[in-house]
Structure 1
C-alpha cells in the first residue's frame, strides 16, 4: 500500500482576473462545491448528497474513468469558516481545500491550496506505478485548483454566487 501526499496552490486573483474575488465569494463557491463537485473539478462526473446534518455533509462523488483512486468515493465533508473545507473518504484518503492570504493580505494576494492524501492499497511503496500515479495526481491537482477558481469566478459573473 502507498500513501501519496501532495498539494498545489493557485493565486485566486492573478493580474487581469475579473471580477476580483473576495473571501466570502470563494467560501460560497466551496460550499457549492460540497454539493455540486462536478461543476468545479473536471475529473468528477457526479456528486450525490446522502445526508446533511449539523453542518456535516455525507456524499458520494463519481470519478471519470481512470481519474480517481476508484470509480467513486464516499466522503464526509466539513467546512471550517473562513479557511478550509475537509473531505474525508472512507478509505482514509483526505483532501483539504484551503483559502489563504499571502503576506500583503490584499485580495490580489489571496490563494487557494488543495492538499491531498490518497491511499492506494493495491500499489506498492516505491514502485513505478506509485511514481506514475504521483505524476498523474500532480497534474490533476493543478487542474482541480485552477478549474475551481475559474468556476467560482464564472458563478459570480452569472449570479449563482452573490457579491
Structure 2
C-alpha cells in the first residue's frame, strides 16, 4: 500500500485580452458548484447527488457516479460517496471512504493573480512502494491532477460566459 501525494497549480487568468478575467467571487462560486455537481467539472463523473447538506452549506455529503465507459478506473460504473467541507472563500476538502483526500484551493500570488491548486493524497492499497507500478501510478495521477485543474478552469470560463457564476 502507498499513499500517493501529488499537486498541480495553474494561474486562472491569462494576459490574453480576448479571454475574460474571472473574479475571486466567480471562481469560489464555481468551486461551490463543483462540490454539488462534480460532473459539470470532472469528465470521469456522469452523475451525482447531494445526500446531506448542513452547516450553512459548508458540509456536503455527496455521491458521484464514475462513468461506466471509464475502463482505466476500477470504480467505473460505481457510485463514490464523498464528504466535502467548504472553507470559504479558499478551499474545498473532499474525503473519500478509503481515506484518500482531495483539496481544491484558490490562492493569490504576486500582483493579486489568482491560482487554482488541486492536491491529492491517494490511498492505493494494491500497489507497493518503490515499484514500477508505483511510478506509473504517480505519473497517471499527476496527469489526472493537471487535467482536473485545467478542466475546472475551462468549466469556470464556460459557466461565466453563460452568466451562471
Do they superpose with TM above 0.5?
A: yes
Structure 1 residue aligned with 2:66: 63
**Residue aligned with 1:104, SS:** helix
Structure 2 residue aligned with 1:22: 23
Equivalent-residue separation in structure 1 for 2:71 and 2:93 (angstroms): 23
**Residue aligned with 2:115, SS:** strand
Which stretch of the first structure deviates more once superposed, 152-161 or 22-31?
152-161
Equivalent-residue separation in structure 2 for 1:80 and 1:69 (angstroms): 30
Equivalent-residue separation in structure 2 for 1:48 and 1:136 (angstroms): 27
Could you tell me the TM-score, scaled by structure 2's length?
Answer: 0.89
Structure 1 residue aligned with 2:46: 45
Structure 2 residue aligned with 1:156: 160
- Structure 1: which 5+ residue stretches go unaligned? none
Could you tell me the TM-score, scaled by structure 1's length?
Answer: 0.90
Aligned length: 158
**Residue aligned with 1:42, SS:** coil
Asked if residue 103 in structure 1 is aligned to residue 104 in structure 2, the reply is: no
Deviation at 1:130, TM superposition (A): 1.4
- Residue-by-residue CA offset, 1:15-63 (whole Å, 9 max, x unaligned): 2162100110000000100111011112222222111122310011222
Asked if residue 81 in structure 1 is aligned to residue 88 in structure 2, the reply is: yes
Equivalent-residue separation in structure 1 for 2:47 and 2:8 (angstroms): 23
Instruction: Name the Cα RMSD after superposition.
Output: 1.5
Equivalent-residue separation in structure 2 for 1:26 and 1:37 (angstroms): 15
In 2 relative to 1, CA 103–69 (structure 1 residues): closer, same or farther, beyond 3 Å? farther
Deviation at 1:12, TM superposition (A): 0.2
- Structure 2: which 5+ residue stretches go unaligned? none
Structure 2 residue aligned with 1:126: 130
